[in-house]
């Protein structure tokens, strides 16, 4: 092709045909410009395809992480509900307390009610990595980015409240275990420690009549209900984001 152009140009020069030569020169320039534009467009297409492929890979990993986080979230909600149920029973009527004490595993029940506490939150590694690297902009859908940001804020709120609950538990509620009851029967029941001597059995009815014990467990119940509500709100946001991410995956 280049040889043909050189031959044509030489012929026009030899014939001293200025008009035709100028037309040829303009045409040659236009061809070069068109070639450059095509090359730029092809390069743009390649870059766009590379960006799109990277986004799809991110969304695929994000979708897998979100589904796992949703499974975690449902399990954490179930555990909070169990804790609330136990706390309501031990703070209930004396008849309900008597029914609990008739069960052979009542020490285990009180161990879980007084001592058990959940401090886990769903983990979404891909989104955390994007945030840390400042790469959330690689997700093109701005509405999805906003929903992910809202989800991240809900996780931070949940972590904060869980931290507050843990602090209150460690500083106040654990005093019940230390000062208000014999912990060894609870420990033996939970860890199946048949070789230790648990000592005197706990009079749970008497213990649960003490105002300070009831107040402290009431505080734990209040905080646990708050945590549960935040977990449910996060779970709904996770379901929403999962649906949006899934719709973006080709």
**Predicted pLDDT of residue 212:** 95
**Predicted pLDDT of residue 36:** 77
Q: Calculate ∠ Cα 27-30-32, nearest 5°.
A: 110
Q: What sign has the CA pseudo-torsion 148, 153, 154, 159?
A: positive
Mean pLDDT for 166-191 is 93
**Predicted pLDDT of residue 22:** 58
10-46 pLDDT, tens digit each: 555 555 555 555 555 666 667 777 777 777 776 667 6
pLDDT band at 250 (very low <50, low <70, confident <90, very high): confident
The tokens of 47 are what? 């870059």
Mean pLDDT for 178-182 is 93
Mean pLDDT for 113-136 is 93
User: Which comes out higher in pLDDT, residue 47 or 194?
Assistant: 194
The tokens of 211 are what? 């105002």
Q: Calculate ∠ Cα 24-26-27, nearest 5°.
A: 60
Number of neighbouring beta carbons within 10 Å of residue 68? 14
- Closest to 217 (Cα-Cα) out of 134, 130, 115, 145: 115
Rounded to 10 deg, the angle between the 106-115 and 183-191 helix axes is 100
Complete DSSP assignment for the chain: -HHHHHHHHHHHHHTT-HHHHHHHHHHHHHHHHHHHHHHHHHHHHHHHHHHHHHHHHHHHHHHHHHHHHHHHHHHHHHHHHHHHHHHHHHTS-HHHHHHHHTSTTHHHHHHHHHH---------HHHHHHHHHT-GGGS--HHHHHHHHHHHHHHHHHHHHHHHHHHHIIIIIHHIIIIIS-HHHHHHHHHT-TTS---SPP-HHHHTT-HHHHHHHHHHHHHHHHHHHHHHHHHHHHHHHHHHHHHH--
Mean pLDDT for 229-247 is 97
**Predicted pLDDT of residue 20:** 59
**Predicted pLDDT of residue 28:** 67
**Predicted pLDDT of residue 110:** 95
User: Which comes out higher in pLDDT, residue 13 or 191?
Assistant: 191
**Predicted pLDDT of residue 17:** 55
Which of 10-14, 178-182, 194-198 bottoms out in mean pLDDT, i.e. has the lowest? 10-14
% of the chain with per-residue pLDDT over 70: 86
The tokens of 226 are what? 């708050």
**Predicted pLDDT of residue 6:** 58
197-210 pLDDT, tens digit each: 999 999 999 999 99
- Closest to 234 (Cα-Cα) out of 74, 78, 61: 74
């Amino acid at each position: 092709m280049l040889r043909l152009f050189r031959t044509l140009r030489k012929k026009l020069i030899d014939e001293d045909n200025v008009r035709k030569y100028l037309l040829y020169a303009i045409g040659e320039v236009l061809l070069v410009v068109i070639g450059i534009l095509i090359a730029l467009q092809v390069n743009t297409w390649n870059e766009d395809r590379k960006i799109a492929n990277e986004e799809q890979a991110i969304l695929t990993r994000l979708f897998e992480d979100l589904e796992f986080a949703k499974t975690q979230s449902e399990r954490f909600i179930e555990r909070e509900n169990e804790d609330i149920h136990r706390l309501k029973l031990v703070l209930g009527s004396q008849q309900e307390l008597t029914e609990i004490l008739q069960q052979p595993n009542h020490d285990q029940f009180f161990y879980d009610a007084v001592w058990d506490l959940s401090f886990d939150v769903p983990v979404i590694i891909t989104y955390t990595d994007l945030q840390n690297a400042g790469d959330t902009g690689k997700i093109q859908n701005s509405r999805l980015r906003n929903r992910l940001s809202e989800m991240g804020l809900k996780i931070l709120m949940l972590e904060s409240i869980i931290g507050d609950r843990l602090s209150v538990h460690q500083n106040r509620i654990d005093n019940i275990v230390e000062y208000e009851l014999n912990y060894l029967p609870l420990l033996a029941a939970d860890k199946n420690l048949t070789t230790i001597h648990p000592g005197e059995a706990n009079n749970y009815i008497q213990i649960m009549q003490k105002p300070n014990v009831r107040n402290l467990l009431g505080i734990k119940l209040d905080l646990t209900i708050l945590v549960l509500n935040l977990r449910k709100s996060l779970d709904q946001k996770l379901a929403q984001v999962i649906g949006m991410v899934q719709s973006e995956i080709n």
